[in-house]
Amino acid sequence: MNASHHRWLHDQLPQWERDSLVTAENAAMLRHRHPVDDSQPGVAQLIMGALGALLIGAGLIAVIGYNWDDFTRPVRLLFAFLPLLSSQVFSSIVLRKGDSVAAWVRETAAMLQTMATGACIALVSQIYHLGGQWPDFLFAWLLLSLPLVWLLRSTSVAIFYLIAIAEWSIHQCDLGKVWHHSPLIYPLLLLGLFPFWPGLRLDKPLSVTLRWIMAWSAVFGLGAAAYFATQQHFDRSWGHEEVFFALGAFTAAAITLFPLSPNALAAPSRHKPQIVLGFLYLLVFGITNTFLESGDDIVKGYAAAAKMPWAWVLIAAAAMFAFQALRTHRWAVLAVSSITLVPLVGLVFGTNASAAIPWLMTLHLLALGITLIVLEFSGRRGAPRLGAALLSILLIARMCESDLSLLAKGLAFIVIGVAFLIFNMFMGRLKARLTHPQP
Amino acid sequence: MKALPLILFALISLAQWAVPLSQIFRYEQTLSKGTLIRLKCSAPDPYDPLRGRYLAVRPDQDDVAIAKSAKLHRGQHAYATLKTGTDGLTVLDELQAEPPASGDFVRVTVRWESEGKAHIEWPFDRFYLNEALAPEADKWFAESIRGSKGVIAEVRVHHGTAVLENLTFDGKSFREILKQRVN
């Protein structure tokens, strides 16, 4: 339940008490269990505050863009520093007042200071006719804004930071960049938001929106790192998609296995975007590699990745996270992540590996689909619908590859579709029965 | 404990000042102590959403011979020594991996290298203009730039740092030419 659900509950409780649906004691327990935290900004308040700060910042930039030709350089420099100084004074007042300040005011102060910092750097570079590259400017800006997330606990600046580090990483994919000025440092930049990481004890839980933005930022940032590592290895900015695909699988495994706290483990899937996105990639990776002609590519991809340091960084991270996942019995996550191991097993077949891997992958996905269903029925945390979907897609993929007639394929698709719908209905009824036990 | 956030905030605020101030110090040093060099260039008129209208300054020379002792690769910073031609304009002489011990030089970025030559990226590429003057620049270019004179970039160079000071045409400040046309 998020904050808006809590508020809704608090609004309903008086009426429920009047209707004798709950006792006063029960209502008090519910209020205690699902408290409304008024120190947290409402979504509308937060958006309005951040939007106001953004508009002022954009206005500043537009005023700067006019280029005040009639003023001397020192006067124009004063224009650059005055908004920064004003925003710093405002933020310091907010900081000194501490918890007595409304959350949206804190957000506005942090966002204003962020925008004023960017505007100041931009104006200085305009006054001295500096060319400069957008990524260099962005890098300085995001680093100078990051501490505001910590001190003012600003969600909007955290969002700005997450988008900025992903954008910077994508821009730094150029061949020839040194590693410490390339997307390979994306994980370190993400570490900048350490207190916001999932799985750590926070004074307040991370919002679902921020989790999704963080997960997408990681997808783009780590994707850029994989692309950069591939082109650096081959000293070429094109080709070798199979290596990028393999690195993507290691990245997805590491993201999926990322350690979670017990509370986060119990949360619904939409609160764990890193798992949703990681699963998606790994399942597409797995299904693609069941096709017979894909064997050569995956062997080439894994063999080349084995010579790349970045691949080993990802494998080491995934192995550490997998160890923790074993300890916390995250079987479904471990099962899906194991898709990345199949090509390694296939390599045991030596020269025949490219022929063996698609078959091994098919068997593995078959076992995985069944496992995800069985886990749920054996009282553990599984993913029965995902398992059933996986089995269906696997069957469809095999049908597409087979030489059967169109009629046979069509009938098979209908049978699979009907079976899937029946399973879906069965799971829906089972869930309803478990949620509302019969008297 | 309550003082800690304020101390941290003060440090961050100082850092937010330090970055632009360090830039200002370096470029002021270059403008006051640097050697003036003059480069032939072209300068069309594009737009930067953050910093407004500017002329895209493109010096004619962007290929430089690599010194025999230097090994350069793509993306690396290199140091271009300067020499003055018979027409009084400056050209880049050769590229070195390390800053030369004497003489003026410019720090540039190697885009790619091939057969003893490197294609370079200059440390400046824009000359910002007032919004009212910028559209006039486009018209002026269309009317005047077909001649042989071309636009001259006046650049100050100091310890490898280059700051674009002015653009001139036929000895006149480009900004002044545009102002006269507007008025």
Which pLDDT tens digit goes with each residue over A145-180? 998 888 888 888 999 999 999 999 999 887 777 788
> Pick from A349, A365, A390: which residue ends a domain?
A390
Query: Phi, psi at residue A365, to the nearest 5°?
Result: -65, -35
The verdict on A96 and A151 lying in the same domain is yes
Mean pLDDT of B139-168: 79
Mean pLDDT of chain A, nearest integer: 82
The verdict on A52 and A118 lying in the same domain is yes
Nearest CA in chain B to A67: B130
Nearest CA in chain A to B163: A128
B19 touches chain A (CB under 8 A): yes
Residues of B in contact with A176 (CB under 8 A): 73-76
The verdict on A52 and A33 lying in the same domain is no
The verdict on A279 and A343 lying in the same domain is yes
Ranges of each domain in chain B: 63-84+91-121
Q: Is residue A127 part of a domain?
A: yes
Window 79-138 of B: residues touching A by CB (8 A cutoff) are 122-131, 133
Mean pLDDT of A243-258: 92
Q: Tell me whether residues B130 and A130 touch, CB distance under 8 A.
A: no
- Amino acid making up residue A71: F
The CB-side HSE value for B33 (13 A sphere, CA atoms) comes to 11
Q: Tell me whether residues B20 and A91 touch, CB distance under 8 A.
A: no
Q: Tell me whether residues B75 and A65 touch, CB distance under 8 A.
A: no
Q: Is residue A205 part of a domain?
A: no
ipTM of the predicted structure?
0.79
Q: Tell me whether residues A88 and B16 touch, CB distance under 8 A.
A: yes
Q: How many CB pairs under 8 A join A and B?
A: 107
Euclidean distance between the first and final Cα of chain B, in Å? 61
Q: Is residue A24 part of a domain?
A: yes
Q: Domain tally for chain A?
A: 4
Q: Is residue A195 part of a domain?
A: no
> Pick from A171, A198, A232: which residue ends a domain?
A171
Quick one: pLDDT band at residue A46, thresholds 50, 70, 90? low
Query: 3-class SS at B168?
Result: strand
Domain coverage including residue A408: 402-439
A238-247: pLDDT as tens digits = 777 888 899 9
The verdict on A317 and A256 lying in the same domain is yes
B53 touches chain A (CB under 8 A): yes
Q: Tell me whether residues B19 and A121 touch, CB distance under 8 A.
A: yes
The verdict on A235 and A383 lying in the same domain is yes
Do A231 and A173 form a contact (C-beta atoms < 8 A)? yes
The verdict on A130 and A268 lying in the same domain is no
Residues of A in contact with B2 (CB under 8 A): 98
Give dist(CA A75, CA A89) in Å, integer: 21
**pLDDT surpasses 60 at A196:** no
Q: Is residue A182 part of a domain?
A: no
- What Cα–Cα distance (Å) separates residue A217 from each residue in A334, B69, B156? 23, 44, 41
A395-409: pLDDT as tens digits = 888 877 777 777 777
E strands of A159-288, at which residues? none
